[in-house]
Amino acid sequence: MTIKNEKNGSTLKLIVEGRVDTSTSKEFEEKAKADLGGVEELVLDFTQLNYISSAGLRVLLSLQKIMNKQGSMKIVGANDIVKDIFEVTGFSEILTVE
């Protein structure tokens, strides 16, 4: 997994590539949370994300809770397999997936 971040005013975009799973979810959480101060819009670009397991869903839930307090969060570019995982777990109801 690699994460690139682009900050533009109060918008933070995280471009996540590879897999967010048991091995990588902690790094994903730490990197995402480290940059959230003052962010009002968080965009997670999942165009290059291959898949996500429940360990990654846990991080998304945690980020969503933070952003519910300080602004908004959306996921863009998720592939069909990742969208399927959101659907099956009910996460498509919690997250904004474009």
Partner 1 sequence: MKELTVDAAIENIETVTNFINEELEQLNCPMKAQIQIDVAIDELFGNIARYAYNPATGKATVRIEVDKSPLSVVITFIDHGKPFDPLSAATPDITLSAEERGIGGLGIFLVKKSMDLVEYEFENGHNILKIKKNLE
Q: Is 36 in the site for partner 1 (CB under 8 A)?
A: no
Binding-residue pattern over the window 46 to 85 for partner 1, x denoting contact by CB under 8 A:
----xxxxxx-xx--x--xx--x-----------xx---x
Stretch that binds partner 1, among 4-12, 30-38, 40-48, 88-96 (CB under 8 A): 88-96
Identify which of residues 33 and 58 has a Cβ nearer to partner 1 in the complex: 58
**Which own/partner contact pairs does 7-13 have at CB distance under 8 Å and 24+ positions apart?**
7/35, 7/39, 10/38, 10/39, 10/40, 10/41, 10/71, 11/39, 11/40, 11/41, 11/42, 11/43, 12/36, 12/39, 12/41, 12/42, 12/43, 13/43, 13/44, 13/45
Identify which of residues 4 and 65 has a Cβ nearer to partner 1 in the complex: 65
Binding site for partner 1 (CB under 8 A): 19, 21-23, 50-55, 57-58, 61, 64-65, 68, 80-81, 85, 88-90, 93-94
